[in-house]
A and B are shown apart, each in its own frame.
Chain A
Amino acid sequence: MTPSSQAPARSLPGSGEARRHLIVAIVNNRPGVLNRVASLMRARNFNIESLAVSATDDPGTSRMTLTILGDEVHVEQAAKQLYKLIDVLKVQDVTDDSIVEHELALIKVRATKRNRPEIVSVAEMHHGRVVDLGDDAVVVEAIGEPGEVDRLVELLREFGIKELVRTGSVVMSRGSGSIEEQVKR
Chain B
Amino acid sequence: MTQIGHVPGAGTAAAAESERARKEMLRDARIDSRDGARPRIGADALCEALLRQGSDVMWGYPGGVILPLYDVLADHPKLRHILVRHEQGAAHAADGYARASGRVGVCLGTSGPGATNLVTGIGTAMLDSVPMVVITGNVPGALLGKDAFQEIDITGITLPMTKHNYLVRSADEIPAVVAEAFHIARSGRPGPVHVDITKDALMGQTSAPHPSDEEVLAGLPGYRPKMEGHPRQLKSVAEAITAAERPMLLVGHGILISHAETELLALARKAQIPVAWTLLGIGAIDERDPLAYGYMGMHGWKHANRAIQSADLILAVGMRFDDRVTGNVRTFAPKARIVHVDIDPAEIGKNVVADIPVVGDAKSVLGALLPLIDTVDASRRAALFAELATWRAESVESPWHGSGGWRDGVLSADFVVDRIAAGCDHDANLTADVGQNQMWVARYGGFRRTNSHLSSGGLGTMGFALPAAMGAAVAVPEKRSWAIAGDGGFQMTLQELATIVQEKIPVKIALLDNKKLGMIRQWQEIVYAGNYHSEQLNGPDYLKLCEAYGVPAWKVSKPEEVDAAVASANAVDGPAMIWFEIAERQNVYPMMPAGKGLSDLIDKWGDDGEDVTDGASGPRRDPADPADGSGSGGAAR
Contacts and interface: CB of A to CB of B under 8 A. Distances in A.
A73 B347 CA distance: 12
Contacts of A36: 159
Interface stretch (A46-54, A86-94, A121-129): A86-94
A4 B599 contact: yes
Contacts of B221: 89, 183
B350 interface: yes
Nearest to B336: A10
A12 B350 contact: no
Interface in B320-378: 328-335, 344-346, 349-353
Given A9-B331, A12-B353, A35-B156, A1 B346 contact: no
A84 B160 contact: no
Given A7-B331, A10-B329, A35 B349 contact: no
Contacts of A73: 349
Judged by DSSP, the binding face of A is mixed
B352 A13 contact: yes
A1 B353 contact: no
Contact of A10 (B331, B346, B349): B331
A10 B345 contact: no
A140 B333 CA distance: 59
Interface residues of A, number: 33
Given A3-B599, A7-B334, A88-B222, A13 B350 contact: yes
Contacts of B223: 86
A86 B184 contact: yes
B346 A43 contact: no
A174 to B, nearest CB: 26
A77 interface: yes
Contacts of A180: none
Interface in B153-188: 155-156, 159-160, 163-164, 167, 184
A2 B599 contact: yes
A88 B345 CA distance: 15
A43 to B, nearest CB: 5
Interface in A80-108: 80-81, 83-90
Interface in A139-159: none
A140 B329 CA distance: 52
B330 A76 contact: no
Interface in A10-45: 10-13, 27-28, 32, 35-36, 39-40, 43
A35 B159 contact: yes
Contact of A86 (B167, B222, B328, B331): B222
Given A2-B310, A43-B160, A11 B353 contact: yes
A1 B350 contact: no
Contacts of B333: 10
B14 interface: no
Contact of B346 (A3, A27, A80): A80
A167 B333 CA distance: 47
A90 B223 CA distance: 10
- Counting chain B residues whose Cβ lies within 8 A of the other chain, the interface size class is 20 to 34
A177 interface: no
A10 B327 CA distance: 12
A28 B597 contact: no
B531 to A, nearest CB: 28
A58 B597 CA distance: 52
A10 B156 contact: no
B201 to A, nearest CB: 15
A126 B206 CA distance: 60
Nearest to B599: A4
A89 to B, nearest CB: 4
Interface string B613-629: 00000000000000000
Interface string A41-80: 0010000000000000000000000000000010011001
A87 B222 contact: yes
A8 interface: yes
Contacts of A9: 330-331, 334
Contact of A4 (B155, B220, B331, B345): B331
A50 B309 CA distance: 43
A90 B332 CA distance: 35
Given A35-B156, A35-B159, A86-B184, A13 B345 contact: no
Contact of A77 (B159, B184, B346, B599): B346
B199 interface: no
Contacts of B351: 13
B346 A2 contact: no
Contact of B330 (A1, A2, A10): A10
Contacts of A4: 328, 331, 334, 597, 599-600
A76 B332 CA distance: 23
A40 B160 contact: yes
Interface in B557-608: 597, 599-600
A39 B54 CA distance: 33
Contacts of B353: 10-13
B210 interface: no
Nearest to B159: A39
B346 A81 contact: yes
A2 B345 contact: no
Contacts of A85: 164, 222
B584 to A, nearest CB: 33
Contacts of B167: 32
A86 B164 contact: yes
A21 B328 CA distance: 29
Given A1-B599, A4-B331, A7-B335, A80 B159 contact: no
Interface in B118-170: 155-156, 159-160, 163-164, 167
Contact of B345 (A8, A28, A83): A83
Contacts of B349: 13, 73, 76-77
B41 to A, nearest CB: 24
Nearest to B350: A77
Contact of B352 (A3, A10, A39): A10
Contacts of A43: 160
A36 B160 CA distance: 8
Nearest to A88: B222
Contacts of A40: 160
Contacts of A2: 309-310, 334-335, 599
B92 interface: no
Contacts of A10: 329-334, 352-353
Contact of B155 (A3, A27, A32, A89): A32
Contacts of A76: 349
Max count, chain A CB within 10 A of own CB: residue among B155, B330, B600: B330
A39 B310 CA distance: 41
7 contacts: A1-B306, A2-B335, A4-B334, A7-B334, A9-B331, A9-B334, A36-B159
Given A1-B599, A27-B222, A73-B349, 16 more contacts: A2-B334, A4-B334, A7-B335, A8-B334, A9-B334, A12-B329, A13-B351, A32-B155, A35-B156, A39-B159, A77-B349, A80-B345, A84-B344, A86-B220, A88-B222, A89-B221
- Top 5 closest A-B pairs, CB basis? A7-B334, A80-B346, A4-B331, A89-B222, A4-B599
